[in-house]
Structure 1
Amino acid sequence: MTKKHIYIYSPSSAVRDKAAVRRGVARLRAMGHDVEVDASALASHMRFAGDDDTRLEAIHRAAASGADVAIITRGGYGLTRLLPAIRYKAVARAIERGTRFVGLSDFTAFQSAVLAETGAVTWAGPAVGEDLGVEGEPDEIMLACFEDLVSGQGEGTGWQLPSAERTDSFRDVQGVLWGGNLSILATLAGTPWMPQIKGGILFIEDVHEHPYRVERMLTQLLYTGVLAQQKAVLFGHFTNYKPVPHDKGFRLKTVIDRLRGQIKAPVFTALPFGHVPTKVALPVGAKVHLAVEGRDAFVLWGHRH
């Protein structure tokens, strides 16, 4: 693998597991990369990685770094506070020069705002701490997808749908891929930083959110007209929530089945993305093909699809 310049910064919550971030840095260096860690990456102010100005400056330093990849230490909370003050033109120029901004979770706010403000592509992918810095070996699929992203070789990703979603006919949907964390997207609805994507392919994931909360957030996107404008909706993983006795059969499947009755676009599940070890890298804002045949689903963005 060609040596790349990777810039690590913290635009959201304070790093609590510093050992994990150090392991992630060491792993990237062991892979042969030139790793630069932002001066405030391990800063702490209340629950944030530094106050708002500190984190804003970290974003702008990442944009000015000339790095091939700018990747977050972790998600959490804090980016929505910064959206009015981010210098989007500087970020877009950095992307044009070849910097790939990578992250997930709270990073969805940054990605959505960059897409809404400039149309530039960012990447939904791993974080340094929870993904690259795990004890033991990182997930092989996650690592392979990240290596493709870093090298610029990635052309798509595929996964297997649940048997109930098997289709007998070949389906090919084209559109702009966008989305990420559902809580963040619902929060941005109606703001200037919610991308206005018509005919898009929306992917969503979340963590610590009970299915009724997932349904409530999807209803927000439904009532604001976002879902009606999409050509397909892809569910990633929704993890770390606990059912309760008074659910009485209400579960995530209930939410998905109801959504299928509310929109015309197909809804597919099991996309390998979210707060899970096995996560693919996805280009947020890129034009893609979604191809489905049998139980095989592919999202393709390379030149040869």
Structure 2
Amino acid sequence: MAHIYVFSPSSAVRDKAAFRRGVKRLQALGHEVEIDNAALDCHMRFAGDDATRIASVGRAAASGADIALISRGGYGLTRILPGLPYKAIAKAIDSGTQFVGLSDFTAFNQAVLAKTGLITWQGPALGEDFGPQTEPDDITLACFEDLVAEQGEGAGWQRPKAEATLQVRVTDAVLWGGNLSVLVSLLGTPYFPPIDKGVLFLEDVGEHPYRIERMLTQLLHAGVLARQKAVVLGQFTNFKLVPTHDKGFKLSTVVGWLRSQIKPPVVTGLPFGHVPTKVLLPVGAKVDLFTDERDALMVWGHI
């Protein structure tokens, strides 16, 4: 059984039913769930004003929980990065608290990595992953339980057939990244980690392929992509193509263009993003990345 602390550092929780279902599901798994006293606050589109959300991060760090889990993503963390209690967060991580989230939480992951060099996790959110009306995804649950049990050592997946001839061998590289839109918004700030020879993973939701390409172009021109050992693409979902205008321009076009621009290999198919099936990824950990025909394996060992 784990002590899970649920807090809301980004957007306000609109789906209270999903929030309650998520809490009950975690409790049914045998976990103790502690809810931050501002988790359901609302200030405009945010889960409380900036000071309230900064304080909620501080309470999560002071909770002594095994897992500090966000209620949802959305928007709001980039506003409060200068005010986050990084010393308290580092102390909590050193004491065993694992901070977990995705989407807007990418800002937290990168800022903590830039400021402390410590590991946080990209993974599920309470409402999106534990709170849907249907049962949570089995792989997502299994990966979360592995984190709770301190047994997670890697993630494997199958790549598209067209990628079978692309063989990759990467060792001892820092894993970093997350939501592409949020990551790009941190460029040029103290909260963008200066990672060289890393494995950069990316995902996004609701972004047309041309906008994905535009953000990748920004990372390209900033020199970020060329400095990595590999770029791993997760799931890019919930966008709508316009056939009469796109004229064949699609996500695979962007992937092909990206491969033509950089020497580091571009690996696709990572089961992570705004999708039901998601692995947990340790941002800031050293990883090895291997492929064998269509199979891909990312290993970080016991953390």
Residue 266 (structure 1) aligns with = 265
Residue 11 (structure 1) aligns with = 9
Q: Residue 76 of structure 1 is aligned with which of 56, 59, 74?
A: 74
Is it true that 1:254 corresponds to 2:265 in the alignment? no
Letter in 1 for 2:109: Q
Residue 294 (structure 1) aligns with = 293
Offset at 1:192? 0.6
Runs of at least 4 residues of structure 1 off by over 2 A?
167-174
Offset at 1:6? 0.4
Letter in 1 for 2:293: G
Offset at 1:303? 4.4
**CA RMSD in angstroms, aligned pairs only:** 1.1
Residue 181 (structure 1) aligns with = 179
For residue 193 of structure 1, give the secondary structure of its aligned residue in structure 2: coil
1:241-260, Cα deviation, whole Å (9 max, x unpaired): 10012011111111111110
Is it true that 1:282 corresponds to 2:281 in the alignment? yes
Q: Residue 112 of structure 1 is aligned with which of 110, 113, 118?
A: 110
Distance 2:158 2:172 in 1: 19
1:161-219, Cα deviation, whole Å (9 max, x unpaired): 10111137563443000000000111001111000001000000000100010001001
Residue 232 (structure 1) aligns with = 230
Counting matched residue pairs gives: 302
1:31-86, Cα deviation, whole Å (9 max, x unpaired): 11111000000100000000000001000000000000000000000000001111
Residue 164 (structure 2) aligns with = 166
Residue 44 (structure 2) aligns with = 46
Offset at 1:228? 1.0
Q: TM-score of the superposition, structure 2-length normalised?
A: 0.98
Offset at 1:149? 1.0
**Residues 172 and 292 of structure 1 are in contact (CA less than 8 Å); yes or no, is this contact kept in structure 2?**
no
Letter in 1 for 2:288: H
Distance 1:144 1:205 in 2: 21
Distance 1:98 1:173 in 2: 26
**Residues 168 and 265 of structure 2 are in contact (CA less than 8 Å); yes or no, is this contact kept in structure 1?**
no
Is it true that 1:60 corresponds to 2:67 in the alignment? no
**Residues 12 and 41 of structure 2 are in contact (CA less than 8 Å); yes or no, is this contact kept in structure 1?**
yes
**Residues 170 and 294 of structure 1 are in contact (CA less than 8 Å); yes or no, is this contact kept in structure 2?**
no
For residue 167 of structure 1, give the secondary structure of its aligned residue in structure 2: coil
Distance 2:231 2:83 in 1: 31
What percent of counterpart residues are identical?
A: 67
**Residues 170 and 229 of structure 2 are in contact (CA less than 8 Å); yes or no, is this contact kept in structure 1?**
no
Q: Residue 126 of structure 1 is aligned with which of 104, 115, 124?
A: 124
Distance 2:38 2:177 in 1: 28
